[in-house]
Amino acid sequence: MDQSPTPPAGTPRTILIDPVTRIEGHAKITIHLDASGSVAAARFHVTEFRGFEAFCAGRPFTEMPALTARICGICPVSHLLASAKAGDQLLAVTIPPAAERLRRLMNLAQIIQSHALSFFHLSSPDFLLGWDCDPARRNVFGLIAADPELARGGIRLRQFGQTVIERLGGRKIHPAWAVAGGVRTPLAAADRDAIRAGLPEAFATTRAALALFKHLLDGPLAAEAAVFGDFPSLFMALVGEGGAWEHYGGRLRLIDGDGTPLGGDLPADGLGAGPFDALLAEAVEPWTYLKFPYYKPLGPEAGSYRVGPLARLNVCDHIGTTGADSELLELRQRGGRVVTSSFHYHLARLIEILAALEAIEALLDDPALGDSHVRARAHLNAFEAVGVSEAPRGTLFHHYRVDGDGLIEAVNLVIATGQNNRAMNRTITQIARHHIQAGPSAGAEGGAETALPEIAEALLNRVEAGIRCFDPCLSCSTHAAGEMPLHVQLLGPGGELLRERWRS
């Protein structure tokens, strides 16, 4: 059981991984060793910041969906929806039924494309090519060479999601489509049929990936689940009617490590500024641009929680579609009613792709989906709102306050990835402690200097892979092929550089 990293003052050695690769953003990892060469702590440093909360001040709230979409090219739809939902409340309108269904359809498509990217393009090289594979090949292009059919399936699955977004919003990335009051355009019958025609292949790819990954979990990856961030924590996600899996509306629920709900569920739409401020606070650490949100009543440590695919599957009672529910049952047989190993984020992601495909299939049969009335119009009727939606990586909040002209006076964005910040730090600390011990360690390639514990590149890749479990989107959270060199610095107790070694 790890404690979260505490400031490792005066620890004599630091291992730096810079940059962390095959994640969506800019980050570094430092591993701090104590005098005996054991791991004292590992830290995840996010190294970018853009300042949306400052420069959005003064903009009209109607501009916010398209502007905040530019927080992130991976999940622009999440910001589009959270921002438009805040806008719905500023207009004080109920959006037309077709608009809600169309927004849901786009969000489901985004979950599919984003999860496919995470699993196939970014993470599967670790599982399929091996932790120890040559770093120059351990990437999507190496996957194309080693398993062209799997790579093609993953590429086409992501394409399916992106194409649905394009059919709805006119472009794959940054569509200016969801607006305060609904969406700009209805769905044409021809587009509905084209989406339907793509489903069988998407289902087949997803089921094959599930079968393959579960086979790996029962074999070569069995050991990883125990050390890849396995610890109890709170989980937060939206839930729908009767506790069903939810990604767009419904109610906001937090559960503790036993699955017991904390406090009462809050409505996702119309979550007022008061309840929102009472719910969450954000802590700052000087060594990263990524803040640490927590559940306010329990404080920064006990109140740290996880969001995203695994949280949504832990928080819901059931999914509500046949195939995904059967996978959910199997996940709980594997990991318990509340699954605590962060490694299972990968499996949860695949299950959610299946859930999203089944939900799309059901939506396409809904006659209300094709209705042409998709936008409610009104003037400004409220001055403060919180828009909530589930991004692929977890719950997303856009909190706006506007003046009488609808210009933004204050904006606070609480981003999915940030809410996993504490958990990511705990995860890499756990992996580093497991794999890096004082003295010669497993996986060493010889040639060690006696003063340094031997650290193979593959072990450092596992530490990075601990981050990849969470599929962090650092674009969002900071609205803020050759050889991988390893830079190990030996620092004295006063921080002076004693020795430095580069290994490539």
List binders of another protein among 258-317 (CB under 8 A): 281-289, 291, 300
Which of 4, 10, 18, 448: binder of another protein (CB under 8 A)?
A: 18
Please count the CA atoms within 13 angstroms of the CA of 394 that sit on its side-chain side: 28
Whether the Cβ atoms of residue 20 and residue 467 lie closer than 8 Å to each other: yes
Q: Is the peptide bond before 440 cis (omega within 30 degrees of 0)?
A: no
Burial track 49-83 (b if 16+ CB lie within 10 A, e otherwise): eeebeeebeebebbebbbbbbebbebbbbbbbbbb
Least spacing, CB of residue 53 vs another protein, in Å: 5
Stretch of residues binding another protein (CB under 8 A), selected from 172-180, 244-252, 354-362, 444-452: 172-180
Please count the CA atoms within 13 angstroms of the CA of 103 that sit on its side-chain side: 32
Is position 485 an interface residue for another protein (rule: CB under 8 A)? yes
Name residues whose C-beta falls within 8 Å of residue 249's C-beta, 6 or more positions apart in sequence. Answer: 100, 238, 240, 268, 269
Is position 135 an interface residue for another protein (rule: CB under 8 A)? yes
The separation between CA 10 and the C-alpha centre of its own chain, rounded to angstroms, equals: 33
Length in residues, the chain: 504
Q: Which is nearer to another protein, 47 or 441 (CB)?
A: 47
Interface of this chain with another protein, residues 99 to 128, rule: CB under 8 A:
117, 121-122
Q: What is the DSSP letter of 449?
A: -
Which of 2, 37, 38, 73: binder of another protein (CB under 8 A)?
A: 73
Query: 49, 39, 170: which is closest to 474 by C-alpha?
Result: 49
Q: Which is nearer to another protein, 13 or 101 (CB)?
A: 13
Least spacing, CB of residue 286 vs another protein, in Å: 5
The residue behind tokens 């999940």 is: 75
Residue 321 Cα distances to 76, 129, 350, angstroms: 26, 33, 15
Least spacing, CB of residue 321 vs another protein, in Å: 27
Whether the Cβ atoms of residue 318 and residue 331 lie closer than 8 Å to each other: no
Is position 214 an interface residue for another protein (rule: CB under 8 A)? no
Whether the Cβ atoms of residue 450 and residue 213 lie closer than 8 Å to each other: no
Is position 481 an interface residue for another protein (rule: CB under 8 A)? yes
Q: From the CB of residue 274, how many other CB atoms can be counted at a distance below 10 Å? A: 10
Least spacing, CB of residue 69 vs another protein, in Å: 8
Is position 252 an interface residue for another protein (rule: CB under 8 A)? no
Stretch of residues binding another protein (CB under 8 A), selected from 45-53, 208-216, 266-274, 384-392: 45-53
Query: 61, 109, 247, 98: which is closest to 183 by C-alpha?
Result: 98
Q: Tell me how far apart the 2 most distant CA atoms of the chain are, in Å.
A: 72
Which of 60, 148, 336, 492: binder of another protein (CB under 8 A)?
A: 148
Is position 470 an interface residue for another protein (rule: CB under 8 A)? no
Interface of this chain with another protein, residues 409 to 468, rule: CB under 8 A:
412, 461
What does residue 130 show for φ and ψ, rounded to 5 degrees? 105, 145
Least spacing, CB of residue 355 vs another protein, in Å: 23
Which of 4, 50, 207, 244: binder of another protein (CB under 8 A)?
A: 50
Is position 4 an interface residue for another protein (rule: CB under 8 A)? no
Is position 138 an interface residue for another protein (rule: CB under 8 A)? yes
Which of 92, 140, 262, 369: binder of another protein (CB under 8 A)?
A: 140
Q: At 165, list the tokens.
A: 């977004």
Is position 494 an interface residue for another protein (rule: CB under 8 A)? no
Which of 24, 246, 390, 471: binder of another protein (CB under 8 A)?
A: 24
Is position 141 an interface residue for another protein (rule: CB under 8 A)? yes
